[in-house]
């Protein structure tokens, strides 16, 4: 049995109510609160601030006549669970993660986009919702819309499987941490996942995909490459970061336009 919130009920963690979000069924969910305003205004020049509570900063925009939320989730899977649980109670049906990532394949370069169709569940939060054997898969309809959007905009991208971790350092086999130590069981993990065909490391997809599948919701993900891990552990210069962000904003907007248009046609 699903539990929708009353129209005036304010969600404890996100600070949102049904009245505040104008019937939104779509949400872009970046991790960083600082990314929200720019994303919202890229969708709609008249986008407006809604609320800011804990990790969750929310703006709303109009795309093809539909209200779309842009809400930060904070970093990592546990924070994603708050976002999905509470937005779902308010009626949001489709979630698209937008953010940055580190590539682990030679043909994924700085500034390129990664559209993930699935994720390796190296997180912990998703295991509270489904056993480890349950696949973390993006919604096919959302993934195809993101691919078509990137293709039509001539944006370089690759579709693949991410590795979602709860740790930015040892979990992604980074040695530039305070101690420089990576547990023996994780040493060589980057190379192993690369040989398995995985495309990138990030921290939210596995939780987002698993929760949305379990709850009968739709999820997708598009991220810009700001670290090429086969070359360096360092994050790319600011201009590369800006280019990646410009690209995933464009792709997210066009994909939303296609998804909303398809929904309207099928009504």
R_g of the chain, CA atoms, integer Å: 18
Q: Which of 13, 53, 194, 246 is catalytic?
A: 13
pLDDT of residue 1: 83
> What is the pTM for the complete model shown?
0.96
pLDDT of residue 263: 55
Alpha-carbon distance of 143 to 223, in angstroms, equals 12
Q: Which of 25, 35, 121, 174 is catalytic?
A: 174
Burial of residue 143 (CB within 10 Å: 0-12, 13-18, 19+) is buried
* pLDDT, averaged across the chain: 96
Which residues, 6 or more positions from 89, have their beta carbon under 8 angstroms from its beta carbon? 3, 4, 5, 11
Residue 266 has pLDDT above 70, yes or no: no
Reply yes or no on whether 154 is catalytic: no
* Cβ atoms within 10 Å of 76's Cβ, excluding its own: 21
Reply yes or no on whether 254 is catalytic: no
Of 260, 207, 262, which is closest to residue 29 (Cα–Cα)?
A: 207
Polymer length of the chain? 267
**Contacts by residues 169-172 (CB-CB < 8 Å, ≥ 24 positions apart):** 171/122, 172/102, 172/201, 172/229
Say whether 60 sits in a helix, a strand or coil: strand
At 101, list the tokens.
């990532």
At 240, list the tokens.
């590369």
Kindly indicate the confidence band of residue 145, based on its pLDDT and cuts at 50, 70 and 90. Answer: very high
Alpha-carbon distance of 253 to 201, in angstroms, equals 24
Residue 265 has pLDDT above 50, yes or no: no
Query: Which residue reads 């600082």 in tokens?
Result: 34
In CATH terms, the fold of domain 18-266 is Rossmann fold (3.40.50)
What is the percent of the chain where pLDDT is above 90?
Answer: 96
Of 235, 165, 157, which is closest to residue 202 (Cα–Cα)?
A: 165
β-bridge pairing 113-122 and 218-228: antiparallel
Give per-residue pLDDT as tens, 190-202.
999 999 999 999 9
Q: Which of 35, 66, 86, 249 is catalytic?
A: 86
Reply yes or no on whether 86 is catalytic: yes
Reply yes or no on whether 13 is catalytic: yes
Which residues, 6 or more positions from 263, have their beta carbon under 8 angstroms from its beta carbon? none
What is the average per-residue pLDDT within 126-143?
Answer: 98
Q: Which of 25, 122, 229, 254 is catalytic?
A: 229
């Amino acid at each position: 049995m699903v539990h929708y919130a009353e129209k005036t009920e304010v969600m404890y963690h996100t600070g949102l109510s049904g009245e505040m979000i104008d019937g939104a069924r779509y949400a872009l969910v970046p991790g960083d609160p600082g990314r929200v305003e720019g994303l919202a205004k890229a969708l709609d020049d008249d986008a407006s601030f809604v609320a800011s509570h804990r990790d969750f900063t929310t703006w709303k925009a109009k795309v093809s006549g539909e209200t779309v939320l842009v809400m930060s989730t904070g970093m990592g899977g546990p924070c994603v669970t708050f976002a999905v649980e509470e937005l779902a109670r308010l009626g949001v049906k489709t979630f698209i993660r937008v953010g940055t990532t580190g590539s682990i394949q030679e043909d994924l370069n700085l500034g390129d986009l990664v559209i993930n169709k699935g994720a390796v569940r190296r997180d912990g939060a998703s295991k509270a919702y489904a056993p480890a054997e349950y696949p973390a898969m993006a919604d096919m309809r959302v993934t195809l819309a993101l691919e078509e959007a990137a293709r039509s905009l001539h944006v370089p991208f690759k579709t693949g499987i991410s590795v979602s971790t709860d740790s930015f350092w040892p979990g992604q086999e980074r040695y530039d941490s305070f101690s420089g130590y990576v547990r023996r069981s994780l040493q060589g993990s980057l190379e192993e996942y690369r040989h398995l065909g995985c495309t990138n490391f990030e921290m939210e997809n596995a939780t987002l995909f698993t929760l949305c599948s379990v709850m009968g919701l739709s999820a997708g993900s598009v991220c810009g490459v700001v670290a090429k891990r086969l070359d360096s552990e360092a994050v790319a210069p600011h201009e590369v970061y800006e280019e990646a962000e410009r690209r995933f904003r464009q792709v997210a907007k066009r994909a939303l336009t296609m998804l909303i248009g398809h929904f309207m046609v099928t009504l």
